[in-house]
Amino acid sequence: MQKKVLIVDDDPRNTFALSAVLKARGYKPLAVSNMKEAFSMLEQEPDVGIILMDMMMPDMDGYEAIPVLRGQPAYRQLPIIAVTAQAMTGDREKCLAAGADDYVSKPIDVTILADKLNRYFN
């Protein structure tokens, strides 16, 4: 069974690139562009194994969305990797404080992402 990764990112270029990388590594990517779609996808695909969460999105950004997810028992333990557009001092700590389990910055280093995914899936 393929391990499912939910990509939550409002930029289709990012979701396309991440999906290609994940497929090439044997994962099943599920991409959505906002949190409304993310909640719907999580209901449809309850066996999602991890979320890659863009932290800067319109409507509800990752800093708002992660605590909402963590407030629901079904998603309390679901690993979430925060994805930020630029590595700024304090970003990692801010993402972890919001409830993310880990953090990567764009452009994403595929080797680092693969190591993080392996850590949570194994």
Mean pLDDT per block of 10 residues along the chain (122 residues) reads 93 94 96 95 96 92 94 95 82 93 92 94 83
Q: What does the alpha-carbon distance between residue 104 and residue 114 come to, in Å, rounded to a whole number?
A: 11
CA distance 17 to 54: 14
pTM: 0.94
- Give the pLDDT confidence score for residue 87 in this predicted structure: 67
Domain count, the chain: 1
Handedness of CA 2, 107, 8, 15 (dihedral sign): negative
> Domain with 66 in it: what CATH number?
3.40.50.2300
Query: For residue 1, what pLDDT is reported?
Result: 72
Range of the domain at 48: 3-121
Task: Name the residue among 80, 117, 86 with its Cα closest to residue 99.
Answer: 80
Best CA proximity match to 5, nearest among 48, 44, 38, 67: 48
pLDDT of residue 49: 97
